[in-house]
Chains A and B, each alone.
Chain A
């Protein structure tokens, strides 16, 4: 019996959310006394593979088949399930990322497993029955999910479990999967990825702005603030609908749900559909010139005033802080 954690990479570098999944799997392994193996699929350098040892996992299984250098949902799910069977895994952990959401149900079906999606806590283990919390009703509730099948798959929400360092040496083992041609029918045509920017779903700090900014030409101060803080930028729906910002920045009910440590909302009214995407942020700061803006009701800190006046001052204040 063992635990398998699948760790995703972007262009050969493991994602932060992947390390979180490793650390989460290790915590479960320690709780139930089972060893953890980490699985990497794709072209990942030795240094990256070894970095998994930082989080206490001793064994890394590497699948570096040419055909799997790009993400192919069906094939990756098949490989993860095959490896899980080969080590007799009773628990498979992966990250509930965009790719992970596509993988988790397929892996669970292949392993006859029960699936806990969008996990935000470690399981409470009562023998076969595990209780794991997830966010529901677009952040308006927290649901306790119970899974009891002998094999369990857990998809961990990024940014909800902090990776804990527990350095150890790793042993890397390569694995040759049996990939069926029918699982390889998807062809990746193009990948556009800004590697210099922090991906929004993984960001610890998010600077977000809304229609209060008046027009796309005013985003340079938002980007500068984000730069100073090492933050990702986001926006409200009308802003991306108007083409002021790209759609992938839109957060809320119909956009992305984020859970950073710090969410700074500038010139956003705080409509319920927007809050649905941000209310699991740890700390919320709101800057709005209308003291009645609904966003203040869910904020931890607020400044009432004109964004065009406050944001430049905030940039200066954060710069002063950084230089200390």
Chain B
């Protein structure tokens, strides 16, 4: 089985997020980049599915050369080869078009993404790819089983879960529960250096949305501490001051 895993490169979860150019651009100074945590889950699942030489894993990333360490890490975790579409991502539509255009001729049975990237939190790329390729998709999967020609997916719904079966090829966005992220071992890291990383030119697709400004969420007022022997005061404040009960 041929599996494609889409990898995005995101600021480390503990990064302090600041902006430059009059709050119009994300400040990348001092930011440590990592594989998007949900994409690590997708990759770990792919490694599980492709185990024992039963399949091959290609990772694809739309981004500039600065992301190569992230791609190498994906190769160290277990992907067989990598493709980087050489462009700065403009928006999810742009990214999905690059990936769909590459995938169209490659015969992947399964295209995995993360449920969302932790920078722009869109959850859009998977749906766009699936629509562009005209195949089924599940945008947030909590469990995934493959039986050769179809995927059985447990997806989250408000207040519960739904089990859905879809034929392959399909696009699936993975969330917690699908697999445990894998840490690359020494052999993987050494081997990753010699695995192929192909760089391809991007299609010129116009972005359909633009982020024009960033703001930091309004700071919360200093915490009001309430004496533990007077919890009724909390109830009173929630009612009359915060007006939430």
Contacts and interface: CB of A to CB of B under 8 A. Distances in A.
Given A109-B132, A142-B215, A186-B136, A136 B119 contact: yes
A17 B159 CA distance: 13
Interface in A140-194: 140-147, 149, 182, 185-194
A77 B124 CA distance: 14
A149 B131 CA distance: 19
A110 to B, nearest CB: 7
Contacts of A262: 238, 242, 244-245
Interface in B3-41: 11, 13-14, 17, 19, 37-38
B209 A279 contact: no
A269 to B, nearest CB: 14
A69 interface: no
A49 interface: no
A60 B155 CA distance: 29
B224 A280 contact: no
A199 interface: yes
Contacts of A15: 158
A265 to B, nearest CB: 12
Contact of A194 (B127, B159, B175): B159
B154 to A, nearest CB: 9
Given A131-B212, A253-B37, A98 B13 contact: no
Interface of B: 11, 13-14, 17, 19, 37-38, 92-93, 96, 118-128, 130-132, 134, 136-140, 142, 152, 155-167, 175-177, 208-217, 220-221, 223-228, 231-232, 234-235, 237-239, 242, 244-245
B8 to A, nearest CB: 13
Nearest to B161: A192
Given A194-B160, A253-B37, A279-B217, A138 B121 contact: yes
B191 to A, nearest CB: 28
Most chain B beta-carbon contacts within 10 A, residue among A99, A147, A186: A186
A1 interface: no
Given A106-B128, A145-B210, A253-B13, 13 more contacts: A10-B157, A117-B124, A137-B118, A138-B13, A145-B212, A182-B134, A247-B177, A250-B176, A254-B37, A282-B242, A286-B223, A299-B220, A303-B231
B130 A136 contact: no
Given A109-B131, A145-B211, A182-B134, A190 B163 contact: yes
Given A101-B140, A147-B209, A254-B38, A115 B159 contact: no
Interface size class of A (residues with CB under 8 A): 35 or more
Interface of B is mostly: mixed
Nearest to B237: A301
B209 A138 contact: no
B239 to A, nearest CB: 7
B237 to A, nearest CB: 6
B120 A283 contact: no
Given A205-B244, A297-B223, A189 B165 contact: yes
Contacts of B156: 98, 248
Contact of A254 (B176, B217, B234, B235): B176
A289 B156 CA distance: 34
A138 B210 CA distance: 18
Contact of B225 (A248, A280, A304): A304
A201 interface: yes
